[in-house]
Amino acid sequence: MIHSNKKNNLHLLVSAVFLLSHSLAYAESSIQTDSTDGQTSANKITSLSDLRAAAQNPLTPMYSLPLKYVYHGNANRGGVSVGSIQPIFPVALGKDWNLINQLSLNFIGTPGGVTGIAELPNPYAKNPLIGPKGAAGLADLSFTSLISPAQHKEGKLMWGVGVTATMPSDAPSRELGSGKFSFGPAATWVFQTKEWTLGVQASQIWSVFGSSGRGEVSQMQVKPMINYNLPDGWYLTSNMNIIANWNAAPGQQWTVPVGGGVGKLFVMGDYKINTRVEGYYNVDRPDQAPDWSVGTTIQLLFPG
């Protein structure tokens, strides 16, 4: 069933795009650079390998716009489609620190009652007599902000710490996403060489308030990142998203995928585009979770 409030979702999307365009102008004017040797900064990203390294590093102070689609297959009630718009906009805090911000607008189509997906911490309310209904629309929005040292040097451990939040936008029914406002800590660590980008992103959220008809949220995400660079902008990648929903019943808490994919960075005139195709199999999952997922990402880069 498609929500009757799809016009409201369209208005939300148009407003978000308008705000993001202004954020782009502000972010580009805010990024300050440094001439220190080995530092990753917006105006030093010139070569193909530099662009690829910047695209693989979530702490790079560079505006980008990832567009992502993931299909989660073979859940008990059917597959779930998740499309995400995930702009990254950094803000310089003087010469020594950056604030790396990422917003994620998530559009979901689900048959209902599916767990083990980051964007669906708890299945939405259902009629126990007829089972859950399908729904599609704008789900939870998430926002993460990390403070990170401005000087990023190859061969040195980079880090960022901050906060993350999720906000329900599926008004008024709250069927999609969690139906809760949730907050918690977030951190990222990255180590890069010419051949490798290795890292991990971690976050934990707890629900604070929201729909009384939805369960409380306590969700951890741990995302190991492994990238191995090949010639001509190609690279092998694995970005597994390990999920733990602590309020679920014992044996139903963990979703652990394994897999990977391939990516390539393209430079076509003034356009810099990072692309990835990935596939994962869940070796541990709740009973109502999908078996596997496949996805693609197109990331537009704006190095300045």
Name the pLDDT band for 173 (thresholds 50, 70, 90).
low
pLDDT for 299: 97
| Residues facing 244 on adjacent strands | 220, 254
Separation CA 125–CA 133 (nearest Å): 9
Higher pLDDT, 131 or 223: 223
Rounded to 5°, the CA angle 295-219-293 comes to 15
In 3D space, the residue among 153, 133, 150, 214 whose CA is nearest the CA of residue 181 turns out to be 214
Please report, for residues 106, 126, 195, 253, 254, the alpha-carbon distance to residue 285 in angstroms, rounded to integers and kept in the order given. 22, 22, 33, 8, 6
Name the pLDDT band for 47 (thresholds 50, 70, 90).
confident
- For the chain, domains (ranges, CATH) are 6-302 (2.40.160.40)
Separation CA 144–CA 99 (nearest Å): 10
Please report, for residues 55, 86, 101, 137, 213, the alpha-carbon distance to residue 166 in angstroms, rounded to integers and kept in the order given. 24, 13, 14, 16, 17
pLDDT for 42: 46
Type of residue numbered 235: Y
Separation CA 194–CA 197 (nearest Å): 8
Query: What is the rounded average pLDDT of the residues 27-44?
Result: 42
Per-residue model confidence as pLDDT tens digits over 92-109: 999 999 999 999 999 999
Higher pLDDT, 250 or 177: 250
Per the prediction, the chain carries an average pLDDT of 84
Is residue 295 scored above 80 in pLDDT?
A: yes
pLDDT for 77: 87
